[in-house]
Structure 1
């Protein structure tokens, strides 16, 4: 390769790094301003992290600079980098979570489900074209200037050296902050995209000894465990002892997508409200998280949703003990949904032994319900477990025109993306119309169960995977997956026991993870202590005080008696009001919850591997 080609390659990379500062600055804009020297230095030195990433990329892909045919590949690579930053910055500014691999997969596989208006799509395409054209022009300009003016390589080495120094400073600060729980530094990391800073407990003490004035060996005020992303689990802790009852009951689990608890009322959902008159209604029910995957995981495992990444890594070895017990007892296990459960390993985790003939997949909720009713009419006296998942109430909220009961409606679906403080009325009307339609479909199922006499010998559970927010806290949050307040995690739960005739109300806090141990004990005759396979409680014997773990797309949070502690940001707020950032948090119960969360890890070595301190 000619030297001038390498130099031009380097200058093009440098210019892209400078362009990267534009979207990166938007993260700094939304994050709380560092109020300490450590925080300010950490934020500034984070530039070295991204600078080093691009420097490494330039070195690794330097062979592409050798020919005119391969240079466009490097231009494309850096164009994708800039586009990722722009997309992630826009997403983070709106929802306060980063785009990761799962989100990109959803973007490709379920674009409509994200609820983005067409205007955003066209704008994104236009931006992509402009960024690509701009990068191509910069690449050509770099080669032209280098040829015409003989630019020297020395400034590039100075920049690379500066990036390395900044990276070393940033890594040292993060190692120290991680070891000594320094919240004034650690709170910054979750705001930065594709950011995986270095941690090393064994080097933290060395840094503290070398720089005692700058990095003192003193602990911060926040006591929090490291976020676990991968683990080796031991589940269950002991073999389950379950004996099928002499007269087994069927179980029907009806799950509604994005179902806010406040929407269960006679005006929006008359059929389900009528059904609640012969069921137990849990007034303070909390999902396993603010997104579908943690909601369904906690629902079928009876575990804190933070276990999901570890279980997903080895789904064949750790299927749901609930559905395994159902199958072992000869119960027909069936699923009815228009959602592809193959994604995110959910089907392998929840229904590993379900034959394809028992997985009823349709394109619409109406077809799903029709399939259920048809199959139920043909069902014999053999006990069965039916999972029905209806998704019309997921943004962009689908329903026939005849169900547009609530008006006015938004002129542009998802228009709040342009104004986070927009009037929520039309958007919530649109959402309520979809629930009105879902209620009609659920009514068909409930009518079938009642007419067939199935309610006399069936457990019927009706709940949501999570809730849906419409800026109720005036904090600019919409949809789900962006926080852990009641507006995104408080979903209805109705439980009808076999033969139940009268309504009951439970006001103690319940959770998705309570459903599995309840059914295991009450319906499947399991005598093994629920702590061996679940972190939940029996719904009919709930504790007075409650601690839970909830999850989202990318992070987890602790819920302790109405106080939320976000494990990624360290942010603490009241479950009912995200603006109340100083609620009391019982640290003793926090530690107990942390111990409970580690219950199904195999051993200390596995936990160390999970946290990256190995």
Structure 2
């Protein structure tokens, strides 16, 4: 490539970055100002994140700078970036959340559904045309200025300043990443509260490097957990949760609660052959046959399970966990429940422990290396009492890939010659891989059987609610579309997991065919166990499991994307793809737009509205 094209391409990218800082500065105005040096530095260094982002885009698009015929394509691409920022600023100022593909599509195809006047649409179109024309003119101008003069071969624009800017952006990005890694590890919410305010923002997180950073620069990044006041954090948070204080009247005899959660548990695997102990237990519980997790990955599954909210709220809550802990576990603590956690999963990651179990003392948090050790710890420490209520959470993960179990639990054969071999052929025969998975569930069932038998022998079932479910499901190419594992789509094979609910003293089986969701469990326990009379809409987007609605609309999440589930139709918000929950290949289905708008309203319920904007921004 001619050097002048490279230089012109770089300067055009740099100028667009400078223009991008105008809408990005708008978010700075809408958020509460950082009141610490760390927060101020983190906000300033976020420029490096966007600078590096556009640098990467520019490098990937270098071939477009080669000819005058392809340069307009790059100009159009960066114009679309500026248009996106403009639309996102407008959306965030109204709703305090950022746009995604579906919001952009609705803005163009279903503008009336957003409830905005047409003048805004016309203004937006005019602004978009001006931005596209402006970027096209700017691209031509830069390339013209970068052309050598007739008298000299020297360039009007040199490459050295570009390298300097890229170096500065890399340094700012390194500072930004280091601050975010440190803030996540040590719960420094004076830094992390900023994240939900910034668009397309995915800062680097790495808990294993946080301690190293603290050791290298203890004066700048001290290894000390944040201790900011909850009320002070709430003023900075985009979240308003709960909408009103909860009113809960203690029943005469408070029952205990046990949650048994199985990793990657596909609903179809709950049968007598694979899981005989749990199947036997279902004969004295209510089984919910159409139960949907909060998503197709662990984090959204657990978040919706303990918050009773659509999992799409998780990023906003994660930014300020101390200000917005689970109202369910907070109520348990206020009522004197002894909370005990048993798992081999690192819940410190992704702020799950600080969000869900902030009041659980260290001596009641049992983290072991194997599921067998976890269950042994539970059996050792579980002592049912009729005078002291307790809450126990047991999370077993042997059924997560690569599916761990002792050899004596090899009940299903043949097994794969190479674990995970389907990575080389996504349409491989799923039988051996599924057998491997079933063996791990057979082992988990054995461990659960120990717990359930212990509850029965000690008489605990007479005064205990028992919840048995999975965090999400697991696919083995049942869709015949090449999907394996979880986190890659939102069909039933990745989101349909079992749910069994045993009420104190229940001895007969019941079946529920209406759709239930993870987010229904918290309001059910709050109302039926903890005696909370506050309208569930004030703290949850779920329903009571024993009074489920006939029709449902839900939001499901994965690692970085979300989807709407509207009466069996999935609408993936990251790409606009629409398909049946029961079959990803069935795309010839319609979606009820009115119900879609209703679930979108639920998705905005716990963000601060325009009436509280002054409180959020700290500006009057």
Normalised to the residue count of structure 1, the TM-score between the two structures is 0.67
- Residue in 1 that maps onto 2:594: 588
Say if 1:407 and 1:426, in contact at 8 Å, map to a contact too: yes
Cα distance per residue 1:62-100 (max 9 Å; x no partner): xxxxxxxxxxxxxxxxxxxx9xxxxxxxxxxxxxxxxxx
Q: What's the CA shift for 1:163?
A: 8.9
- Residue in 1 that maps onto 2:55: 53
- Residue in 2 that maps onto 1:480: 486
Work out whether 1:579 is the aligned partner of 2:500.
no
- Residue in 1 that maps onto 2:402: 396
Work out whether 1:171 is the aligned partner of 2:177.
no
Q: 2: CA distance between counterparts of 1:607 and 1:427?
A: 52
Say if 1:515 and 1:538, in contact at 8 Å, map to a contact too: yes
Structure 2, unmatched stretches of 5+, are: 11-50, 89-98, 106-119, 137-197, 203-236
Cα distance per residue 1:403-431 (max 9 Å; x no partner): 00000000000000000000000000000
Q: What's the CA shift for 1:605?
A: 8.6
Q: What's the CA shift for 1:353?
A: 1.0
C-alpha spacing 1:528/1:210, structure 2 compared with 1 (3 Å)? closer
C-alpha spacing 1:55/1:377, structure 2 compared with 1 (3 Å)? closer
Q: What's the CA shift for 1:597?
A: 0.7
- Residue in 2 that maps onto 1:561: 567
Q: 1: CA distance between counterparts of 2:460 and 2:103?
A: 58
Query: Aligned ranges for residues 137-156 of structure 1 at < 5 Å?
Result: none
Say if 2:102 and 2:574, in contact at 8 Å, map to a contact too: no
1:333 aligns with one of 334, 339, 349: 339
- Residue in 2 that maps onto 1:87: none
C-alpha spacing 1:361/1:55, structure 2 compared with 1 (3 Å)? closer
Helix, strand or coil for the counterpart of 1:540? helix
Helix, strand or coil for the counterpart of 1:309? helix
C-alpha spacing 1:228/1:506, structure 2 compared with 1 (3 Å)? farther
Say if 2:79 and 2:131, in contact at 8 Å, map to a contact too: no
Work out whether 1:322 is the aligned partner of 2:243.
no
Cα distance per residue 1:197-250 (max 9 Å; x no partner): xxx9876432347889xx9xxxxxxxxxx9998970100000000122110000
- Residue in 1 that maps onto 2:553: 547
2:251 aligns with one of 245, 255, 258: 245
Work out whether 1:206 is the aligned partner of 2:206.
no
How many residue pairs were aligned? 450
1:445 aligns with one of 432, 446, 451: 451
Query: Aligned ranges for residues 34-113 of structure 1 at < 5 Å?
Result: 53-54=55-56
Query: Aligned ranges for residues 348-387 of structure 1 at < 5 Å?
Result: 348-377=354-383, 381-387=387-393
Root-mean-square deviation (CA, aligned residues, Å) is 3.7
Q: What's the CA shift for 1:603?
A: 1.6
Say if 2:514 and 2:550, in contact at 8 Å, map to a contact too: yes
- Residue in 2 that maps onto 1:500: 506
Helix, strand or coil for the counterpart of 1:590? helix
Q: What's the CA shift for 1:168?
A: 2.8
Q: 2: CA distance between counterparts of 1:422 and 1:457?
A: 48
Query: Aligned ranges for residues 200-239 of structure 1 at < 5 Å?
Result: 204-208=125-129, 232-239=238-245
Q: 1: CA distance between counterparts of 2:548 and 2:515?
A: 8
Q: What's the CA shift for 1:365?
A: 0.1
Q: 1: CA distance between counterparts of 2:476 and 2:64?
A: 50
Q: 1: CA distance between counterparts of 2:363 and 2:324?
A: 23
Cα distance per residue 1:497-516 (max 9 Å; x no partner): 00001000000000000000
Structure 1, unmatched stretches of 5+, are: 1-6, 15-48, 58-81, 83-154, 188-199, 216-225
C-alpha spacing 1:426/1:445, structure 2 compared with 1 (3 Å)? same
Cα distance per residue 1:6-42 (max 9 Å; x no partner): x89x79x99xxxxxxxxxxxxxxxxxxxxxxxxxxxx
Q: 1: CA distance between counterparts of 2:273 and 2:561?
A: 35
Work out whether 1:455 is the aligned partner of 2:451.
no
- Residue in 1 that maps onto 2:422: 416
